[in-house]
């Protein structure tokens, strides 16, 4: 079949294997970008055009709050998000309650954290690394368009970001060394869900 049998699937190998597991995760993630988003992207842009890139402050606040739902990881964003939300409040905006995209995603990831470490690691990797890549580009674009270029704390990391990322890559690679090929593939196959859930949160910016 097109999807391949369970056995074929469990033995499937991905490029980057020799360079460590993070390279395999990155390969799968980059393919799920559109060409528009990243040079290495291969995904077809959606048939129905995305809504025009017109961020709103209320939508951006919903996006920031839903990201704050995501706790207990290494490259923590919660503290800087709290500062950003305090800043918006001072500016007179009311902070929305978390909405379903963030609540759904955090419930899903929390569930995985208890029962499916491989799938959980996939979300951990994609979320934190996405914030440092496309996330920063988005932050800049939104800031230019609706925040007079104000740089949010969300996009600032303590210390040298590339070093922080490399430390996390090393740790992820070490953890994955103990996994079987099947467990690695299970992790890689979760990437699509990571894009789906994050995409819903991302769209809040335009809501
Ligand atoms: C990397 C853009 C959404 C996960 C990248 C890179 C770009 C990019 C340009 C390449 C960075 C490099 O040169 O190494 C975007 C844009 C997005 C988007 C514009 C949406 C508008 C997402 C989503 C996810 C994601 C939804 C997953 C939840 C990743 C990961 C990397 C990456 C894991 C690799 C980072 C690394 O190697 O350090 N993205 N991206 N991206 N993106 Fe995205």
* CATH code of 72's domain: 1.20.910.10
pLDDT reading at 186 higher than 70: yes
CA distance 117 to 178: 12
The domain tally of the chain equals 1
Q: Does a structural domain hold residue 5?
A: no
- Is any atom of ligand 1 closer than 6 Å to the C-beta of 201? no
Where in the sequence is the domain holding 175, given as residue range(s)?
16-206
CA distance 183 to 176: 9
Q: Does a structural domain hold residue 47?
A: yes
Q: What single DSSP character describes residue 34?
A: B
pLDDT reading at 184 higher than 80: yes
- Is any atom of ligand 1 closer than 6 Å to the C-beta of 136? no
**CA max distance for the chain:** 57
Residue 193 CA to ligand 1 center (angstroms) comes to 15
Q: Which of 27-41, 63-77, 108-122, 157-171 is predicted least confidently?
A: 63-77
Whole-structure pTM value: 0.86
Name the residue of 130, 138, 194 to mutate for ligand 1: max ligand atoms within 8 A of Cβ: 130
ipTM, 2 dp: 0.92
The rounded mean pLDDT for the chain is 88
- Is any atom of ligand 1 closer than 6 Å to the C-beta of 37? yes
CA-proximal residue: ligand 1, atom 12 (nearest) = 133
In this prediction, residue 60 has a pLDDT band, given cuts at 50, 70 and 90, of confident
Q: Does a structural domain hold residue 118?
A: yes
Q: Does a structural domain hold residue 171?
A: yes
């Amino acid at each position: 079949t097109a999807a391949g049998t369970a056995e074929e699937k469990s033995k499937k190998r991905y490029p980057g294997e020799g360079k460590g597991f993070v390279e395999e995760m990155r390969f799968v993630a980059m393919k799920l970008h559109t060409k528009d988003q990243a040079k290495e992207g291969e995904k077809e842009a959606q048939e129905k055009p995305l809504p025009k890139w017109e961020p709103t402050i209320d939508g951006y606040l919903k996006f920031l709050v839903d990201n704050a739902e995501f706790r207990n990881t290494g490259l923590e964003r919660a503290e800087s998000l709290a500062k950003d939300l305090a800043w918006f409040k001072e500016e007179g905006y009311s902070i929305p309650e978390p909405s379903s995209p963030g609540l759904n995603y955090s419930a899903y990831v929390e569930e995985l954290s208890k029962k499916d470490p491989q799938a959980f690691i996939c979300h951990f990797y994609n979320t934190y690394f996405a914030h440092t890549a496309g996330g920063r580009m988005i932050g800049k674009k939104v800031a230019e368009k609706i925040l007079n270029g104000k740089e949010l704390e969300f996009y600032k990391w303590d210390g040298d970001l590339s070093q922080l990322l490399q430390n996390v890559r090393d740790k992820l690679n070490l953890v994955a060394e103990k996994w079987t090929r099947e467990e690695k593939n299970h992790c890689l196959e979760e990437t699509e869900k990571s894009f789906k859930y994050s995409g819903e949160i991302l769209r809040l910016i335009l809501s």
